[in-house]
Structure 1
Amino acid sequence: MPQLHPEKIAHRLEQLTELSVALGHGLGGQGRDIGPLLQRIVLLAKSMSGADGATLYRPMADGRQLAFDISVNDSLGIAQGTDMGLPGVPLFDGAGQPNLASVAAYAANMRRSVNIADVYHDEGFNFSGMRDFDRHHGYHTQSILTVPMSDHEGDLIGVLQLVNAKDGDTGQVRPFSSTDQRFIEALAAQAGVALTNQLLISQLEELLESLVTLINIGIDEKSPYTGRHCQFVPELTMLLADAAHATETGPLADFRLSDNERKQLWLAGLLHDCGKITTPVHVVDKATKLETIFDRIALIDTRYEVLLRDAEIAALRQQAAQPQQKDAIARALELEQAALREERDFIRTVNIGGESMAQADQERVRRIARRRWRAADGELRDFLDADETENLTIRAGTLTAAERAIVNNHISVSIRMLEALPWPKHLQKVPEYAGGHHERMDGKGYPRGLTKEQMSVPARLMAIADIFEALTARDRPYKKGKSLSESLRILGNFSLNGHIDPELFDVFIRSKVYLVFAEKHLHPSQIDAVDEAAIPGYVP
């Protein structure tokens, strides 16, 4: 067998070196796309050996078959990366024993290269499938070189098969030389390491996203009222990010988001409320002002029942002592009990909470609180204790100042959790993107009081997504989902008072991001007519 010219050997070494350099610089595509890496391996193996065709087999998920992954063939005009649609190669026979009849399965099972000069004169393997292929395609397979590819632990990651080595001078099919085999084995080893690294990166990214999902499942199970928020905010964030990316005029005309930045923003959206996993559930889910583990309005109802009973007992005693005043006493009792029931209804109403509580209603609660009543132990006490009075006089919503501080602390916890992670270089912006959704453009937000100039565009746009989703959410225990027009009116005022970025709000409206999200996730009853010209802070 003729020996390779030293120049050709030098060229092959140069090709291997180039591949090593390329692999070292991350050849193989972005993220989980290993297609470019696999195609480079197949084409380089074909070129180095002078083969007419090359096929890459990959083990299937069940580990029992090899699947055709990439096939190329010059004579048949099979283009780069074409899948021939051929059936898989079984790695085991019907008895469960390793399949050693197929040359590809043999190489895979034995982790050994197979070099055959002429398949039509070889009796060591079953080439019936290859011969059927030849008859069907008018091809003639002669020499083949089959080389297994393994990872660092010896696990099979692929089988590379080369077909019909050709003489560089005559173009005639020749056997694959021992030098061919050694070079292809070196290539397979090198490619195996690179492919393993790529797969490990992919697995680590999948693990990271699974851990993110795990955290959100924990939040969802802990508080079903906010679980959908962790799903919807990332989606809405990316809708607005894509709209800002596509903007060609105005202050955001130069804003562009790379694929890597998109990935980081998506992860940040998923993780933006991860700190809520530490927030007490009775605070997160507080539906009424008096709710803790249960709604304490029932205790106050009981006190009113005691007052109604005491009033009736006192009236009966009066009637017994003054029978001639029986009717007048009865009428006075009726009025007193009606006043108590009206007062009880008032307390029930203010317990529900709302956007604003009138000062007069707050003062009335304080007057009621000072009424004396006799408890079960016989002691006279104020009708409402200090904690009940504080909760029932909450001006807006259902949270006291202390409880609101607990809820607000979730963002500080989120930031601490995210900054504690050893993010790789390509994900280091995740904490910054996730940590800014409660900051304000005027510096009055929390937890760091950042201004617009101190925040990146991705961090600023997540604030709009977070607020809009919260306004329209129908699954919160303490409020109803607002209509589309009302939510946009509130957001518009936020853009005017320094709360959110007015430039991004303009994109949010102009690009109809709000409508895309609404039509997918809002209840039809919430999607009312929107007059964009009437939205505060927006100029059509």
Structure 2
Amino acid sequence: MTEVQSNRSVEALLERLERLNAIGTALSAERDTTRLLEQILVGAKELTGADGGTLYLKNEAGDALDFRIVRNDSLGIAMGGTSGETVSLGAVPLHDGAGAPNYHNVAAYAALTGNTVNIADAYTAEGYDFSGTRAFDEQTGYRSRSFLTLPLVSHEGEMLGVLQLLNAKSEADGAVTEFSPEDQRLAESLASQAAVALSQQQLIDAQRELFESFIRLIAKAIDEKSKHTSGHCQRVPELTMMIADAAQRAEYGSLAEYGFSSEERYELEIAAWLHDCGKVTTPEPVMDKETKLHAMYDRINAVDTRFEVLKRDAEIAALRERLAAAEAGREPAAEASEAAVAEQRRTLDEERDFLRRANVGGEFMPPEEQERVRAIGTERRWRGPDGAEWPLLDEDEIHNLSIAKGTLTPEEREVMKDHMRVTMDMLEALPYPRHLRRVPDLAGGHHERMDGQGYPRGLVGYENPDGARMMAIADVFEALTAADRPYKTPMPLSQALTIMGRMCEDSHFDPDLFDLFIRERVYMDYAERFLKPEQIDEVDESVIPGYQP
């Protein structure tokens, strides 16, 4: 070899080493497992001049190698990875039916022994079964010749998979040749770096999966805490991300400025799953308050009993009057007495029915009905078992039956609102990685309002993060249309959107995001997935308050 040739050889080797280092650096920076696997195979092909290759990973059971990435330049084959094509090849078993090691398959052999296998020509190699390779060649007209098969072993000695390269090509004329010792050393070095990067990524993926499973477990526990909010913590993240995706697509007005990186999108999704985690401390009697008088049981039944006592007392009083008249030798006015009792019963039944209706929470209770509750409760008197006379309703019952909206008293609403303070306290106590540091602000902002009248921090307008303002819309829409709320029947779309439109006019929501929610028909996408068919009525978007078509 001349000095010039020697220098060129050294330069070529240095270039390949630099390329090896560059590939290793890229592998260590990649955080997506699919792209990482693809980079390992593509990098190895480039480094060794291979025409094709396959990357296998050991399956979860540890008894087979699954095809994950397949490439062949000459045949134009690209399966797995970012190709969009699913790998259709079956797994390679590591043992046969009797449990003996599958040393006949070269990939299985490398995985079982941890040894690199360098084969110059598969058609003449002994000890391995290449019948499948020959069948493939016959079908495609390809000629599989040289194989370089390398185990991927983590720094802890765990077998992760196998990297197999096919048909090394000469730099001089492109002819298929065998993999040189230099190719093997470089590929082994890359395989070692790849195994470290892959094991680290698998560890990150496992920790992420555990983290997400734990978050979903918390959400499920909160939903299961109350039979009346089952599914809320699972549906709100779905709708929040639907709104976020619509904002990402929008290219008009202020919405054109919205943009989420993959990390920001993930951060928002995690926050949405945790948005009500503070409800773990909310008392069950508050969360499960089905009616205004519901505590451990619905106290309206006790009120019913008092009305029955009043009706009984009216009948007894009438009978006593008739008996007294008969004893005094007077003709009892039976018809008049019965008519008076019947009228009393009618009045009492009407008042009882009114209180029963008042006990069921609704969207609004007029002041005159609240006054009537107090009048009935204080003016009607009933006599208890001890003979003492009491108002029909005590002050607590009057207070509860006069609730203007829903089933919670102002005091109970404060208890319910406190879940946001608890949510913030819980989430702010966690040590977040950089890309999740806004989770407390996002999760804790879904009850804030544009006018600053929300809670827990009273943020004004855009002080509240974009994602939190999206979540505010998702939270209300889910609550209005949910079929599991204690005080209402499932609300149709048109009614829910009308109510939300009024809330938007009252500065509850970001008007641009509410416009997006209607204009992009996010509400309909959600409805088709989660609402009952009878709730999906015709929506005239032109009459929705706060929205301009």
TM-score relative to the length of structure 2 = 0.88
Secondary structure of 1:55 counterpart? strand
Answer yes or no: is the 8 Å Cα contact 1:28–1:38 preserved in 2. no
CA distance in structure 2 between the aligned counterparts of 1:268 and 1:176, rounded to whole angstroms? 51
Amino acid at match of 1:21: T
Structure 1 match to 2:20: 16
Distance 2:401 2:44 in 1: 77
Cα distance in 1 for partners of 2:294, 2:34 equals 56
Q: Deviations over 1:449-486 (max 9, x none)?
A: 00003122222122122222322333311013334333
The within-5 A match list for 1:110-129 is: 110-129=113-132
Of 421, 446, 451, the residue aligned with 2:460 is 451
Q: Deviations over 1:502-534 (max 9, x none)?
A: 222222233333333344444454444444333
The residue that corresponds to 2:482 in the other structure is 473
- Whether the 8 Å contact between 1:28 and 1:35 is mirrored in structure 2 is no
Q: What residue in structure 2 maps to residue 359 of structure 1?
A: 367
* Residues 1:441 and 1:335: Cα distance change in structure 2 (over 3 Å): same
Write the distance in 2 (CA, Å) between the matches of 1:526 and 1:130: 58
C-alpha distance in 2 between matches for 1:8 and 1:440:
65
Cα deviation for residue 171 of structure 1 reads 5.3
The match for 1:44 is: 43
Question: What is the aligned partner in structure 1 of residue 286 from structure 2?
Answer: 283
Q: Which residue of 2 aligns with 1:224?
A: 227
Residues 219-238 of structure 1, C-alpha deviation per residue, up to 9 Å, x if partnerless? 23222332233333233323
Whether the 8 Å CA contact 2:503–2:509 is kept in 1: the answer is: yes
Measure how far apart 1:196 and its partner are.
1.7
**Contact 1:71–1:78 (8 Å) recurs in 2:** yes
Q: Amino acid of the residue matched to residue 369 of structure 2?
A: D
Describe the superposition over 1:123-161 as per-residue Cα deviations: whole angstroms up to 9, x where unpaired. 333333333334444444444322110234333221112
Question: Hey, what does 2:345 align to over in structure 1?
Answer: 337
Give the TM-score taking structure 1 as reference length: 0.89
Residue equivalent to 1:247? 250
Shift of 1:76: 4.4
Q: Deviations over 1:319-339 (max 9, x none)?
A: 322223351444433333333
Q: Is the 8 A contact 1:518 1:527 kept in 2?
A: yes
C-alpha distance 165-249 of structure 1, shift in aligned 2 (>3 A) = closer
Tell me how far apart the structure 1 counterparts of residues 504 and 168 of structure 2 sit (CA, whole Å): 69
Count residues with an aligned counterpart: 534
Q: Which residue of 2 aligns with 1:313?
A: 316
Q: Is structure 2 residue 186 aligned with structure 1 residue 183? A: yes
Provide Cα deviations, 1:57-84, integer angstroms capped at 9, x if missing partner.
Answer: 2223443222333333445454586777
Residue identity over aligned pairs, in percent, reads: 53
Q: Which runs of 5 or more structure 2 residues have no equivalent in the other structure?
A: none
Query: What is the CA–CA distance in structure 1 between the aligned matches of 2:253 and 2:34, rounded to whole Å?
Result: 39
Look up the SS of the partner of 2:254 in the other structure: coil
After superposition, what is the alpha-carbon deviation per residue over 1:165-215, rounded to whole angstroms, capped at 9, x for unaligned? 445446565544444333222211110111122222222332232222212
- 1:126-525 aligned at under 5 Å gives the runs 126-169=129-172, 174-323=177-326, 324=330, 325=332, 327=334, 328-370=336-378, 371-525=380-534
Change (3 A) 1:297 1:148: same
User: For the residues of structure 2 that align with 1:128 and 1:97, how far apart are their CA atoms?
Assistant: 20
Corresponding position of 1:93: 96
* 1:20-76 residue CA offsets vs partner (Å, 9 max, x unmatched): 32233x2254xxxx3332222222222333434322222234432223333334454
What is the one-letter code of the residue matched to 2:457?
Answer: R
With over 3 angstroms needed to count, the CA separation of the structure-2 counterparts of 1:468 and 1:171, relative to structure 1, is closer
* Structure 1 vs Structure 2 CA RMSD: 2.8
Partner SS state of residue 257, structure 2: coil
For 1:429, the aligned partner's letter is R
Gap change, CA 1:114 and 1:288, over 3 Å in 2: same
Counterpart position of 2:105: 102
**Deviations 1:1-22 (Å, cap 9, x if unpaired)?**
x999433332232122112322
Corresponding letter in the other structure for 1:334: A
Paired residues of 2:169 and 2:175 also in contact (CA < 8 A): yes
Matched residues in 1 for 2:479 and 2:78: separation?
51
